[in-house]
């Protein structure tokens, strides 16, 4: 079973039935296919985090019974529990699970306390970690950005899920940056979202009207929530200027209107436009085309607009929630009863049970 990242919308009642009324939080941890729980490892403090932007998904947990006091040695460490091993983590309730992480064990450690037995800590990252480790320099001529994304995905054994960028670019250059940071920049320049989820690499069009994963209601499924509206980083427009490398003529592109998420009507540019006509941000590119400058202007405006509304909350543990999808909130007031983009999600199972915490962002009030 792979990590799901699709457009499915769930009803809470549907998930309640699936997970047996959310009774008895449970998990499975498979290292090279071997179930850590079934071999007797006492796992504590399991946390799985997914994030958008220039971050990888990651996990951490502890094993409290790895130390054998008779043999004075550590079980599993260096054999099953070892760096470089592939790992899959599933979370859910009783015997019903959903895969929330696929990746690699990147670190193991041991804490030897003054009193008590040693505890092993394990952490890891998804396969995008491999894309971050070395700086690369490459050049592509007359290639589409989407083709470059597919090519880089194949280097790391990732399955590409790529929306075509249509037009070939005369020259795409990667200069002394990691493949991960290069693809993030390439996606930004082409109005795409880039992320690695499990064994897939996504290079997809932004979709402000994408389906929400589910609706959380304050006082019921939404345990806590805080929200903030902040206009301090908003502008009315983004202008990108440059020089056409063929004609040596000046080029100028102005950002289009923000694609509003949800049913609210006021975006950051709307609000700032009523305050001043001088809140225009200007960027410069050395060699560019009108099309490239337009995409960059729209991408910069998109990111700025998404800083208008931010929020954070907690809910009952729901494995279907992950960063990169939208979620809808209810009973939190007119301004915030809206779909929001999840940019950080943490699933945690510990002595307090199973709780999902998250951060969201939106672009209208």
Region 273-282: mean pLDDT is 96
The per-residue pLDDT for 278 is 94
Region 297-321: mean pLDDT is 98
In the predicted model, is pLDDT for residue 112 greater than 90?
Answer: yes
For the stretch 63-79, pLDDT in tens is 999 999 999 999 999 99
State the pTM of this model: 0.95
For the stretch 165-218, pLDDT in tens is 988 999 999 999 999 999 999 999 999 999 999 999 999 999 888 899 999 999
Provide the pairing of β-strand 159-162 with 200-205. parallel
In the predicted model, is pLDDT for residue 1 greater than 80?
Answer: no
In the predicted model, is pLDDT for residue 355 greater than 80?
Answer: yes
In the predicted model, is pLDDT for residue 97 greater than 90?
Answer: yes
Which residue in the block uniquely carries the two structure tokens 């999902």?
Answer: 356
Return the DSSP state at 319.
Answer: T
Phi, psi of 352, rounded to the nearest 5 degrees: -90, 0
What percentage of the chain has pLDDT greater than the value 70?
A: 100
Asked if residues 230 and 307 have their Cβ atoms less than 8 Å apart, the reply is: yes
Which residue in the block uniquely carries the two structure tokens 């609210």?
Answer: 264
Q: In angstroms, rounded to a whole number, what is the distance separating the alpha carbons of residues 313 and 218?
A: 10
Measured on CA atoms in the order 47, 99, 320, 41, is the torsion positive or negative? negative
For the stretch 310-320, pLDDT in tens is 999 999 999 99
Region 231-244: mean pLDDT is 97
Instruction: Tell the burial category of 157 from Cβ atoms under 10 Å away from its Cβ (0-12, 13-18, 19+).
Output: exposed
Phi, psi of 119, rounded to the nearest 5 degrees: -125, 135
Asked if residues 101 and 87 have their Cβ atoms less than 8 Å apart, the reply is: yes
Domains of the chain, with CATH numbers? 131-205 (3.55.50.10), 231-307 (no CATH)
Which residue in the block uniquely carries the two structure tokens 């960063």?
Answer: 323
What percentage of the chain has pLDDT greater than the value 90?
A: 93
- Tokens (6 digits) for 61: 């947990």
Other residues' Cβ atoms within 10 Å of the Cβ of residue 171: 11
Return the DSSP state at 353.
Answer: E
In the predicted model, is pLDDT for residue 288 greater than 90?
Answer: no
The per-residue pLDDT for 246 is 85
For the stretch 238-274, pLDDT in tens is 999 999 888 889 999 999 999 999 999 999 999 999 9
For the stretch 120-137, pLDDT in tens is 999 999 999 999 989 999
| pLDDT confidence tier of residue 287, bands split at 50, 70 and 90 | confident
């Amino acid at each position: 079973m792979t990590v799901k990242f699709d457009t499915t919308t769930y009803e809470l009642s549907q998930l309640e039935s699936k997970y047996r009324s959310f009774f008895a939080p449970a998990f499975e941890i498979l290292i090279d296919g071997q179930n850590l729980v079934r071999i007797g490892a006492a796992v504590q403090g399991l946390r799985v985090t997914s994030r958008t932007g220039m971050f990888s998904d990651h996990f951490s947990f502890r094993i409290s019974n790895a130390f054998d006091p008779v043999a004075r040695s550590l079980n599993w460490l260096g054999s099953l529990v070892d760096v470089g091993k592939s790992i899959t983590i599933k979370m859910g309730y009783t015997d019903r699970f959903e895969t929330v992480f696929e990746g690699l064990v990147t670190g193991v450690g041991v804490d030897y306390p003054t009193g008590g037995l040693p505890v092993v800590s394990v952490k890891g990252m998804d396969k995008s970690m491999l894309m971050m480790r070395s700086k690369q320099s490459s050049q592509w001529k007359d290639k589409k950005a989407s083709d470059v994304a597919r090519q880089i995905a194949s280097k790391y054994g990732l399955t590409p899920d790529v929306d075509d960028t249509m037009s070939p670019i005369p020259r795409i250059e990667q200069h002394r940056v990691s493949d991960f940071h290069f693809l993030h920049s390439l996606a930004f320049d082409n109005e795409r979202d880039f992320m690695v989820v499990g064994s897939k690499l996504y290079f997809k069009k932004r979709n402000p009207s994408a389906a929400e994963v589910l609706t959380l209601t304050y006082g019921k499924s939404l345990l806590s929530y805080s929200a903030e509206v902040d206009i301090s980083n908003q502008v009315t427009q983004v202008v990108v200027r440059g020089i056409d490398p063929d004609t040596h003529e000046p080029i100028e592109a102005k950002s289009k209107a923000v694609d509003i998420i949800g049913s609210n009507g006021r975006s950051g540019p709307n609000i700032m436009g009523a305050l001043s006509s001088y809140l225009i941000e200007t960027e410069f590119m050395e060699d560019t085309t009108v099309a490239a400058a337009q995409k960059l202007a729209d991408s910069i405006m998109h990111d700025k607009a998404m800083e208008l509304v931010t929020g954070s909350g907690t809910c009952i543990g729901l494995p279907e929630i992950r960063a990169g999808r939208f979620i809808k909130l209810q009973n939190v007031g007119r301004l915030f009863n809206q779909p929001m983009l999840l940019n950080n999600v943490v699933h945690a199972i510990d002595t307090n049970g199973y709780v999902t915490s998250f951060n969201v962002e939106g672009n209208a009030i």
